[in-house]
A and B are shown apart, each in its own frame.
Chain A
């Protein structure tokens, strides 16, 4: 069965540095998402992406964050000037459709540790 893949599985970065988290969504999916989960807290929506543009973003997704689909397969989340509070598990997800209860398929996540 097709899967969403995320790399790396664990990223350690110094505070203030930029980090790029990578995701390969399921190939025929059209909608892409990033979520994050701070340790011990809820999984939170960050952003959704369709047709090469952001379709919705949460208040967490400020100017520090950006997303990109640089080619036909990858979907990236860039965090500029990382802060300690950015330490979290980041999940990528994709779906074929949206808004009608179509399930989102999740990757294994990238654990981001900011030192």
Chain B
């Protein structure tokens, strides 16, 4: 069975600063995918960034980037130049190659301080 752990229930960051959200995971598979989803208050979960495990290069999407450490089974999300609109619950998730289900962490609630 696979597991995803987010050890930071809440984080806060000053606007325009950088924040890193932690995620560790466990899977017996060698080929899998990792995701960060963002859920603003009363809104749907939207994909922030995706990483294929077979790729060594860390994924980036504008102000969002990941630090993927496969050996350590770590997948952290870095948000640069934090904006008020980044305030949300952030979920780390994993799916194995050839498998449909996503396994989620418990989430990190991010607050942006103006």
Interface residues of A (CB under 8 A from B): 3-4, 31, 33, 35, 41-45, 48, 55-56, 58, 91, 98-101, 103-109
Considering the complex, give the chain B residue whose CB is closest to the CB of A50: B100
Give the distance in Å from the alpha carbon of A109 to the alpha carbon of B103 in the complex.
17
Give the distance in Å from the alpha carbon of A56 to the alpha carbon of B44 in the complex.
23
Considering the complex, give the chain B residue whose CB is closest to the CB of A40: B106
Knowing that A42-B107, A43-B91, A103-B50 touch, tell me 5 more A-B residue pairs with CB under 8 angstroms: A42-B106, A58-B101, A99-B98, A101-B97, A105-B47
Select the stretch in B12-20, B35-43, B64-72, B73-81 that faces chain A.
B35-43
Q: Which of B37, B99, B102, B105 has most chain A Cβ within 10 Å?
A: B102
Report B-chain residues with C-beta under 8 Å of the C-beta of A35.
102, 104
Report B-chain residues with C-beta under 8 Å of the C-beta of A44.
104
Report A-chain residues with C-beta under 8 Å of the C-beta of B93.
43
Report A-chain residues with C-beta under 8 Å of the C-beta of B103.
45
